[in-house]
Structure 1
Amino acid sequence: MASTSVSRVVPATPEQVWELIGGFHSLPDWLPYIPESTPLEGGRARELHNADGEVIVERMEGFSNRERHYTYSILRAPFPVRGYLSTLRVHDVPSEPGAAEVEWTGRFTPDGVSDEEAAELFTGIYREGLEALHHTLAG
């Protein structure tokens, strides 16, 4: 099993960040490479379409509005992994009242690639995603 984690301090309060990213179907609001999210299973799952037209189906596995995080699994995707589980979490930054730290973590079993290659793939996705979030919030 492999894992990765990326975090980034962004220029908004934790409440403002969670308002933007806390909805399970809100990825198109801040992630340019995911222009479409279609709710499935009564909203518990989502079908994402990336900019290349590939389809990714994910299911929410856990959610806490109070603690500002959600966990999801991938049911179908063009990625060389299985058993994918990821959490997106917003933290307070005590020394910076107008900022929040966003942490995106994942663990997965590589399928046809090394642990390092799989971790590098998702590290890049998370890093680009948090950069896009920073850009959206900095507006």
Structure 2
Amino acid sequence: MAKAFASRIIRAPIEAVWEVVRDFNGLPRWNPAIVESHIEDGLPPDLVGCIRSVTLDSGAVGRERLLVLDDNQYRVSYNFETPPLPVFNYVGTLELKALTEVDHTLAIWRSTFDEAPEDAGRFGPILSEQVFASGLASLDAQLAGARTPENTVRWQGHAPANVYSIVELKLPLEKAWASVRTLASSSDWLTSDSGASATGARQRRVGDVSRISLEGEPLQEQLIAFSDLDHSLGFVLRYDTAPGVYRANIELFSISSSETTLAVCTVHWRCPKDDEAERGVKKHHDLVLRALNRIGQQ
């Protein structure tokens, strides 16, 4: 398997860099190797699964599918549906990491792919230097000196898992993921038997917010990560009547020996060590178990 890689310190805060990078249709605005891009079928560029058609400066045309858009980990992944180069099984990822001592950002762009035997070793340097490295250099030149947006609050890392639930779903991974994937577009998993109801349909767009009610308590739910590559979803929950932010993640793993799926759900939040906190742990743990078991029954 061949690889391409480039990394660079961008002299701008991670929020400013991510605002540019997360636009799946925005490559021509900052990468000189890409001269044209459009999202097919009129879909929005933050819809996981959308396809962009790109034209390279060489004139080659390709089609790329958005696999991952993660506002929490500052990561975007994509594959080649129609390669602009003669490579196969291509998957690329552009990821950002904030530097702590200075308000700069490390950008890492990497990909893996296969080449025909006669092309072995040919396209790694081309992608690394002419697409990745030149693109990151241009991005740095455009954003150097940008300021951190006002009222920015960066997540300082997860507290220990307040809820950690694992359920074996009697479904193969593909069917289990098809069920879990609907979490981003409907509230069917939060049924009346779990004490939750929805007042607005959720969309499969990272960043979208919906209003729901859990056991009579109103809250906002925001989709912050969606990965067809890792089979995972991430949400942020904010209660109207209680402080703090809840971060939930669901990830699926294939069990090859039994053709079933392991569903792992974690919910993190910061709360005092008291009886009310313990009751909150139990409430969310029970909700997660009921939701995961219901998915397995579909």
TM-score normalised by structure 2 residue count: 0.44
Percent identity among equivalent residues? Answer: 27
C-alpha displacement at 1:79, in angstroms?
A: 1.2
Indicate the residue corresponding to 1:94 in structure 2: 100
Q: Write the mapping of 1:1-139 to structure 2, written as runs, cut at 5 A.
A: 1-41=1-41, 42-43=43-44, 44-96=50-102, 98-111=103-116, 112-114=118-120, 116-124=121-129, 125-138=131-144
Residues of 1 paired with 2:88 and 2:57: CA distance? 22
> Matched residue of 2:16: which SS?
helix
> For the Cα contact (< 8 Å) 2:60–2:85, is it kept in 1?
no
> Matched residue of 1:120: which SS?
helix
Flag the structure with higher strand content. Answer: 1
Structure (1 or 2) with the larger CA radius of gyration: 2
User: Which ranges in structure 1 are unaligned for 5 or more consecutive residues?
Assistant: none
Greater mean deviation of Cα atoms: 12-21 or 126-135: 126-135
Residues of 1 paired with 2:79 and 2:98: CA distance? 25
Which deviations, in whole Å up to 9, do the C-alpha atoms of 1:69-104 show, x marking residues without a partner?
1100011133131000000111111222x2101110
Q: Which structure's relative contact order is higher, taking Cα pairs within 8 Å and 6+ residues apart? A: 1
| Code of the aligned partner of 1:102 | A
> Matched residue of 1:35: which SS?
strand
C-alpha displacement at 1:132, in angstroms?
A: 1.3
RMSD over aligned Cα atoms: 1.6
Residues of 2 paired with 1:70 and 1:99: CA distance? 19
Residues of 2 paired with 1:113 and 1:50: CA distance? 20
C-alpha displacement at 1:35, in angstroms?
A: 2.5
> Matched residue of 1:133: which SS?
helix
User: Which ranges in structure 2 are unaligned for 5 or more consecutive residues?
Assistant: 45-49, 146-298
> For the Cα contact (< 8 Å) 1:11–1:137, is it kept in 2?
yes
